[in-house]
Structure 1
Amino acid sequence: MSTPPQETETHTLALSHEQQWVVHHTLVATADEYLDDDEPVPPWLLTVLEGLESDEQTVTDRQSRNLKALLEDRELPEADVPETRAVCATLEAILED
């Protein structure tokens, strides 16, 4: 049985420095919330976070969907909203390919 393309095909996630910071901050805050609740951090979240920290900006379709949903669902500081919208637009473009 082969792995579905959404789990193996990767896409480059070209983010500005500011966009990377917003995504990184959101991922870390979300991971902290899981840990505070004594729940395991979802593997996709850790993979994306580790990728950002190592300058590997690639995501799978599933990671793109999960990250987009997370960014859309989080309440963010007003200053981060434009960058977050831009990241969500980039993720939407990836998913439409």
Structure 2
Amino acid sequence: MTSPQPETETHEVTLSRDEQWAVHAHLASIVDEALENDETPPTWALDLFDAVEDGDGTTVLTGSQARRLSDAMTSYVDCEESPDRDVIHGSNVVNRLEDCLESEPTQ
């Protein structure tokens, strides 16, 4: 007899078009950098890219994806080279993700 798989916590994150663009731009840069270095892009970045692109405004992320995206966007908004508009929208994304991670997950 096998044990049932534990349900994965998920979080619905609603992003504006500008917030989606900031996430898209940063994830694309991670993928592009890996390709330029003849490396395989990180799976987590590709998975997040797909999740955000498929979300149509509302993106469903696992807890680990939400934490990973929060960490990635925090690094992006803290980078002096990030465009000001991306810093504003990226900061909103980080705040929204932190709020989701602090609240009860949906199943």
TM-score, normalised by the number of residues in structure 2: 0.78
Question: What RMSD, in angstroms, separates the aligned Cα atoms of the two structures?
Answer: 1.8
Using the TM superposition, give the Cα deviation of residue 65 of structure 1 relative to its aligned residue in structure 2, in angstroms: 1.1
1:71 to 57, 73, 84: 73
Runs of 4+ in 1 over 6 A off after TM superposition: none
Higher helix share: 1
> How many residues get paired?
95
Unaligned runs of at least 5 residues, structure 2:
none
Unaligned runs of at least 5 residues, structure 1:
none
Using the TM superposition, give the Cα deviation of residue 39 of structure 1 relative to its aligned residue in structure 2, in angstroms: 2.0
Distance 1:53 1:79 in 2: 20
Identity of aligned residues (%): 35
Partner residue of 1:82? Answer: 88
Partner residue of 1:93? Answer: 99
Could you tell me which amino acid in structure 2 is paired with residue 49 of structure 1?
F
TM-score, normalised by the number of residues in structure 1: 0.85
Distance 1:91 1:28 in 2: 19
